[in-house]
Amino acid sequence: MDANGFFGSWGGAYIPEVLYQTFQDLKLEYARCRKDPAFWEEYIHLMSTYSCRPTPLTHAENLSNHFGGAQIYIKREDLNHTGAHKANNVMGQGLLVKRMGKKRVIAETGAGQHGMATATMAAKFGLDCTIYMGEEDVLRQRPNVFWMEKMGATVIPVKDGSRTLKDAINQAFRDWVTNVDDTHYVFGTACGPAPFPEMVSWFQSIIGIEAVDQIIQAHGKMPKKIYACVGGGSNAMGIFKRFLEEDVELVGVEAGGHGANSGAHAIRLASSDATPGVAQGYKTMFLQDEDGQMKHTHSVAAGLDYVGVSPILTDLWEKKLVRFESATDEEVMQALDLTMKKEGIIPALESAHAFAGAFREVGKLSVDDAIIINQSGRGDKDIFTIAHAFEDPSWEKFIIDRGKEYSKKHSG
Amino acid sequence: MDANGFFGSWGGAYIPEVLYQTFQDLKLEYARCRKDPAFWEEYIHLMSTYSCRPTPLTHAENLSNHFGGAQIYIKREDLNHTGAHKANNVMGQGLLVKRMGKKRVIAETGAGQHGMATATMAAKFGLDCTIYMGEEDVLRQRPNVFWMEKMGATVIPVKDGSRTLKDAINQAFRDWVTNVDDTHYVFGTACGPAPFPEMVSWFQSIIGIEAVDQIIQAHGKMPKKIYACVGGGSNAMGIFKRFLEEDVELVGVEAGGHGANSGAHAIRLASSDATPGVAQGYKTMFLQDEDGQMKHTHSVAAGLDYVGVSPILTDLWEKKLVRFESATDEEVMQALDLTMKKEGIIPALESAHAFAGAFREVGKLSVDDAIIINQSGRGDKDIFTIAHAFEDPSWEKFIIDRGKEYSKKHSG
Amino acid sequence: MEKQLRKKLENKEILLMTHIVLGYPSLDVNREVIEQMVSNGVDCIEMQIPFSEPMADGPVILKANQEALAGGTKVDDCFTFAAEIIQQHDIPFLFMTYYNIIFKYGEEAFFKRAADIGMKGFIIPDLPPEMGESFLALADKYKIAPVLIFTPTSTDTRMEELASHGRGFIYCAARRGVTGSKSEFGDDFKEYLGRCRAATNLPLAVGFGIRSKEDIDVLKGKADMAVIGSRTIQLVESEGAEAVGPFIARLR
Amino acid sequence: MEKQLRKKLENKEILLMTHIVLGYPSLDVNREVIEQMVSNGVDCIEMQIPFSEPMADGPVILKANQEALAGGTKVDDCFTFAAEIIQQHDIPFLFMTYYNIIFKYGEEAFFKRAADIGMKGFIIPDLPPEMGESFLALADKYKIAPVLIFTPTSTDTRMEELASHGRGFIYCAARRGVTGSKSEFGDDFKEYLGRCRAATNLPLAVGFGIRSKEDIDVLKGKADMAVIGSRTIQLVESEGAEAVGPFIARLR
Ligand SMILES: Cc1ncc(COP(=O)(O)O)c(C=O)c1O
Ligand SMILES: Cc1ncc(COP(=O)(O)O)c(C=O)c1O
């Protein structure tokens, strides 16, 4: 990152003037933390006592045999407290907030995972908490909303724009510019104005730092390839960062939605649909029209359904240090199904994109090689989406019956 | 355990003759495993790569300050793969099954956690899997059923008796006596005929073995008390076992349901409602009538709603080595609420009993002391029960709307 | 009881034991069914005291247990009823039940009362001899035959061990599994019965899934007694108690 | 533009700038509203080119942006319309928009076309000077004033830095937050305005939540221009374009 927050020609901090001083303070505190080994130690201690770091690296023997190619290893971010890698970032920012003495946090959330993680952190650190969530995502991820509220957070459904992640981000910024003095905005992914992309990647880099030791121990040498799904890019950056120093191919898998040519997807880097732009505080490749208006995106995975992408990844893409692929909703459901049946592991819909991307290629590698798939989260929170997508009849009946019961209660 | 499987006067193996040889084989293989250090090593390796052992010990600072008594530490079994301590037992038995060369596993399940864990293990080890689940529990825990099926297991709702855990156990035995040659019954708790109580406790003892080092590291000395909820008794035995050697008070918390005098509870040892009996293959204190017919029990937590209890715990209770308490449904919901708000942690309804039991007493201890609460599982799987119990209006609306959507689809 | 059965065997190719669940559908119907059974030549009847957790029983008997309990059947009622029945009919009667019924009643009290009313034997499917030391001692003391069970999974050694504790007769389960569904009587079965015979001098009763004259004919010459369980319960359910007599009569 | 404004200030205690969102509710209504504004003495108008992510705008302008886009408003339409309006009315016009609109159009092309049609300034709330090196250079080249923003969180140093890059006037946000809701003009506000004045010689425009004659009166003597934003949009929504003229007239 250069002094203005750029990675190559991407990134920066395109922020309303009212946030200028807050960003100065944030950058200063962040720089202090990076220089202070005690901060990272405190972070590691927190993550290993409150969440369960190091998260394991699981050898997926059955999947490996099924494809007959490289040995598949799964980095288990799903075993984090709150069920996803989001905890890494949020707990790190929580420690920062404590140092800065702010009393309130806000966050946007798409899949609800980042909102859950932030509400959790706020409860633990005794902070007020407001979560912005696109109305459409509130509907897709109701259980998460329930838990966030139970943990004391206020969840505000955002009814503007496409009513998904990007609109929640705008709304969080509106809150922030209003309550800038006592509030920290816990950005949920490696996007947004500097220093967020770098800071979030730093906290997430714990994934790759652990994985490098784990794969050497399990496999004796570096893996050939690493796969991660890419929404904003934080779990991908988290596992990629450490491996950029090594001779390992890094593959980001974006949300192919109904297909690359359908117009209903969220492929920023693996298709030519995206163009350079500046929004939500940073410069990157956006899915936008010729006027610069952001397009509607689609993915079965709420957490990947986003118009922009980490400027760090865009830079790495431009420099050909990371390869980008996409997986369609349908491929993802198949990958999910196979992983459940073969390994007893339920990836989040987001993470299942990384699985789908890996499954396409792993058979071509030698059985002596290894790949790592970053399982960013667990899928059991996605029950409403997954059971829906599989059109499970007993699930539907169960919901119908429950609904009738509640209807009766309210009318009777 | 004596040669006949008794702990004091409790336990034994009251099994149909057809299972005699299978139990001989099982006891033999189990004895071999106990003697073979490589087996335990393999078990530890599996649990630290597939699940996330050691699970952390979390210092609950906010709760500790709230009560102003001892420092509260939480042993985080909720961070296990599949979300509960059940994984410890199931993976251990999975290794045993592999050694015995059986191709199929069956299990009973109450809360669904043990069924989930077994289905997961079966997927991982490539075994056929059938899960018996009381029809009432199928309704309470629908999401678990969905996932078990997705992992390739067959879930059979049991419509006999009280349609809960004990009936699922009977039904599993009926399957076992029929398919004894190729099938292993993965008993889910420290109950049932010998060697199950001891074997399950052995696998679960990993909890206490880890906790002893962790509490010394965090707190510098032994805790004063340890709290665990008691359904069948496996998570309690898991954390208690290692501490039986130390000067630590062990407290088991049973399901108080609507209250000790309501008749609607599952208090076996902390009330005088239970009497000695023999059922489901073993001798223990059962909630039964004067003829020896088992009574209906009640708990908001499906996993504690059981008529019997581990014979090992009954023995320890008789010897006054473990104290038993109970917590009502209402106290449990309050404890759950407080824990979510103060710590950002969502205990399973079962585990919340241990929290409720501890909260009653922790204020009386000194701030220099520590207690450990065993958080046997995570509560987010209980969304249907918890959101229901809190009568959350937006949850109810959400379900009503979803129900209507599915109704329309089926009629249209 | 063994003697009683041997005597009957002098005149019959094979004996017949039937099963009823006390209190299902009611003690009155039980009485009528027993009457029909005895007068149509049944040699021995096992009366099941219902239990809430009948883990070795299949769906038919399981349901019968539950309904008997739901109807309010108590252990005491079962004793009173059994006393009356034993008075009326001159064949051996057994109690079949699960161990908890006896344990909870008090083992010795249970044996004593059973002996007092003339009960001949007990079949307790969840009490292997290892768990039944005091039970077996009391059986001896009160002269009530503890009927033990052979199964196709029993090794020769195990059969001998069981035989050494069993009295009255040995109950040979025709197959793995619970009561109720059909059994196959093929080569494996014949080999199994051969092993049973070799292991004991006690009469052999074969049960589990015996439903027709054909089934019983297969057993003739190989076993001493055929056990009809679920079939008659189903018959009472579908056609009433009066159908039992003709059904039994047709079996030989 | 600074000169133009200073000239007007010779005759007026305070100037008035208004805000319209191009294409909301339609360009035709925009035209009528501008007509009413100008003929009732508005001194300067910022025309917002709608953007899909207006992160610094409150609910009223946010909605206006969305509806303008939903109605099909294109950047090209905005230029064509602005060219026509500038021709017709002899007051300075500015484009207000977010940086992506300019970036995507091509910075230089955008400046060139804006200069060609006589546009006087740009207000870009998400482009701090650090991010706008080429933008500021082009502004200089094409003589279009880059209007920068002071806020109550700006330190004195920051204000000086902003002032060194700003041209035309400085837009002083009356408070933290987004456009739309009411501001308080208490002691803190006065101290803030004092700091603004000390930091720059440029005219000061005060905006955010100014809705009435009373609000404007407070600003007299302290600021050079009052900015009415959301208020007139709401007025058009509730009472139609023809209500704007009388409203503006009543403000002084
Ligand atoms: C489980 C999971 N994985 C991945 C993502 C995508 O985010 P990112 O690309 O920042 O990792 C999300 C976002 O919510 C998520 O919840
Ligand atoms: C989370 C959890 N805790 C506790 C229990 C109770 O079982 P046990 O007493 O064997 O630990 C269950 C049983 O399903 C459970 O799911």
pLDDT tier for residue A136 given thresholds of 50, 70 and 90: confident
pLDDT tens profile A319-345: 999 999 999 999 999 999 999 999 999
Of B78, B79, B116, B189, which is best to mutate to test ligand 2, by the most ligand atoms within 8 angstroms of its C-beta?
Answer: B189
How many residues would you count in chain D?
Answer: 252
Q: Which of A42, A47, A49, A62 to mutate to test the interface with B (most CBs of B within 10 A)?
A: A49
State whether residue D20 is helix, strand or coil: strand
A124/B57 CB distance under 8 A: no
Give the tokens for residue B32.
Answer: 């071999």
**DSSP letter assigned to residue D209:** S
Query: What was the pLDDT predicted at D1?
Result: 86
- Residue A310 CA: which ligand is closest? 1
A231 lines ligand 1 (CB under 6 A): yes
Is the Cβ pair C148, B290 closer than 8 Å?
no
ipTM, two decimals, is: 0.95
By percentage, how much of chain D surpasses pLDDT 70?
100
Q: What's the whole-number mean pLDDT along residues B203-230?
A: 98
3-state secondary structure of D147: strand
Per-residue pLDDT of chain C (252 residues; tens, 9 = 90+): 889 999 999 999 999 999 999 999 999 999 999 999 999 999 999 999 999 999 999 989 999 999 999 999 999 999 999 999 999 999 999 999 999 999 999 999 999 999 999 999 999 999 999 999 999 999 999 999 999 999 999 999 999 999 999 999 999 999 888 877 777 888 889 999 999 999 999 999 999 888 899 999 999 999 999 999 889 999 999 999 999 999 999 997
- Torsion from C-alpha of D215, D221, D223, D229, nearest 10 degrees: 30
Check CB contact under 8 Å for A123 and B344: yes
Strand (E) or helix (H) holding D204: strand D204-207
- Asked, colleague to colleague, whether B7-48+85-200 and B53-83+205-388 share their fold, the answer is yes
Q: Per residue in B303-352, pLDDT tens?
A: 999 999 999 999 999 999 999 999 999 999 999 999 999 999 999 999 99
Q: How far apart are CA C121 and CA C139, in angstroms?
A: 8
Q: What's the pLDDT at B412?
A: 64
Domain ranges in chain B?
7-48+85-200, 53-83+205-388
Ligand 2 atom with least separation from CA of B349:
1
Determine the Cα–Cα distance for residues A274 and C188; give it in Å rounded to an integer: 72
Q: How far apart are CA C244 and CA C181, in angstroms?
A: 19
Query: Any idea which of A201-205, A304-308, B118-122, B385-389 has the lowest mean pLDDT?
Result: B385-389
Digit-coded pLDDT (tens) for B56-97: 999 999 999 999 999 999 999 999 999 999 999 999 999 999
Q: At what angle do helices D75-88 and D27-39 cross, to 10 degrees?
A: 30
CB contact under 8 A, B394 and A145: yes
pLDDT single digits (tens) B247-260: 999 999 999 999 99
- The response to whether residue A385 sits with its C-beta less than 6 Å from ligand 1 reads no
Ligand 2 pocket by Cβ (under 6 Å): B 84, 86, 110-111, 113-114, 189, 229-236, 303-304, 348, 350-351, 376-377
One-letter amino acid for residue C123 of the chain: I
Calculate mean pLDDT across residues D180-206: 90
Sheet hosting strand B128-134, strand order edge to edge:
B154-158, B128-134, B104-109, B183-185
- pLDDT cut 90: percent of chain B above it: 88
Per-residue pLDDT reduced to its tens digit, A188-224: 999 999 999 999 999 999 999 999 999 999 999 999 9
Each residue's pLDDT tens digit, B265-289: 999 999 999 999 999 999 999 999 9
Does residue D183 register a pLDDT over 80? Answer: no
Read off the pLDDT of residues B389-410 as tens digits, 9 standing for 90 and up: 888 888 898 899 999 999 998 8
Residue A315 has pLDDT above 70, yes or no: yes
Q: What is the C-alpha to C-alpha distance for residues D228 and D244, in angstroms, rounded to an integer?
A: 11
* Residue linked to tokens 């109704």: B407
| pLDDT score recorded for residue B137 | 84
Give B179's contacts in chain C (Cβ within 8 Å): 176
What count of other Cβ atoms lies within 10 Å of the Cβ of residue B21? 16
pLDDT of residue A265: 97
**Residue in B with minimal Cα distance to A121:** B344
Partners of residue A377 on adjacent β-strands:
A84
What integer pLDDT is reported at residue A411 of this predicted model? 82
The residue type found at D145 is A
Q: Is the peptide bond before C25 cis (omega within 30 degrees of 0)?
A: yes
Measured CA to CA, the distance from residue C9 to residue C47 in angstroms comes to: 22
Q: Which domains occur in chain D, in start order?
A: 2-250 (3.20.20.70)
What is the pLDDT of chain A when averaged over all its residues? 95
pLDDT per residue as tens digits for the range D53-88 = 999 999 899 999 999 999 999 999 999 999 999 999
Task: Report the nearest-CA residue for atom 13 of ligand 1.
Answer: A303
pLDDT of residue D34: 97
The CA A80 to ligand 1 mean position distance, Å, reads 13
Q: What does the H/E/C string look like for chain B? A: CCCCCEECCEECCCCCHHHHHHHHHHHHHHHHHHHCHHHHHHHHHHHHHCCCCCCCEEECHHHHHHHCCCEEEEEEHHHCHHHECHHHHHHHHHHHHHHHCCCEEEEEECCCHHHHHHHHHHHHHCCEEEEEEEHHHHHHCHHHHHHHHHCCCEEEEECCCCCCHHHHHHHHHHHHHHCCCCEEECCCCCCCCCCHHHHHHHHHCHHHHHHHHHHHHHHCCCCCEEEEECCCCHHHHHHHHHHCCCCCEEEEEEEEECCCCCCCCECCCCCCCCEEEEECCEEEEECECCCCCECCCCCCCHHHCCCCCCHHHHHHHHCCCCEEEEEEHHHHHHHHHHHHHHHCCCECHHHHHHHHHHHHHHCCCCCCCEEEEEECEEHHHHHHHHHHHCCCHHHHHHHHHHHHHHHHHHHC
pLDDT for D162 beyond 90: yes
Long-range Cβ contact pairs of D240-249 (< 8 A, separation 24 or more): D241/D29, D241/D32, D241/D33, D241/D36, D242/D32, D242/D36, D244/D33, D244/D36, D244/D37, D244/D40, D245/D36, D245/D37, D245/D39, D245/D40, D246/D40, D248/D16, D248/D18, D248/D36, D248/D37, D248/D40, D248/D41, D248/D42, D249/D40, D249/D41
- Rounded to whole angstroms, how far apart are CA atoms A32 and B174? 65
| Chain A residue closest in CA terms to B404 | A400
**Secondary structure class of D148 (helix, strand, coil):** strand
In this structure, whether the domain defined by A7-48+85-200 belongs to CATH 1.10.10.10 is answered with: no
Mean pLDDT of chain D: 95
**Whole-number CA gyration radius for chain D:** 17
- Residue D180 predicted with pLDDT over 90: no
The model's pLDDT over A31-57, given as tens digits with 9 standing for 90+, comes to: 999 999 999 999 999 999 999 999 999
Nearest C-alpha of chain A: how many angstroms from B142? 7
Q: Under DSSP, is residue C223 helix (H, G, I), strand (E, B) or coil? A: strand
What is d(CA B303, CA B325) in angstroms, rounded to the nearest whole number?
17
Question: What is the number of other CB atoms lying within 10 angstroms of the CB of residue A330?
Answer: 15
Q: What is the pLDDT at residue C131?
A: 97
- For domain A53-83+205-388, which architecture applies? 3-Layer(aba) Sandwich (3.40)
D149 shares contact with chain A (CB less than 8 Å):
yes
Ligand 2 pocket check: which of B204, B269, B376 to mutate, most ligand atoms within 8 Å of Cβ?
B376
CA distance B293 to C49: 11
Closest Cα to atom 13 of ligand 2: B303
Query: B305, B163 in Cβ contact below 8 A?
Result: no
Q: Which ligand is nearest to the CA of B347?
A: 2
pLDDT at B141 over 90: no
The residues, any chain, with a CB within 8 Å of residue B179's CB and separated by 6 or more, are B104, B106, C176
Residue D46 a catalytic site member: yes
Terminal-residue alpha carbon distance, chain D: 23
pTM: predicted TM-score of the whole model, two decimal places: 0.96
pLDDT at D92 over 90: yes
Above 70 in pLDDT, residue A412? no
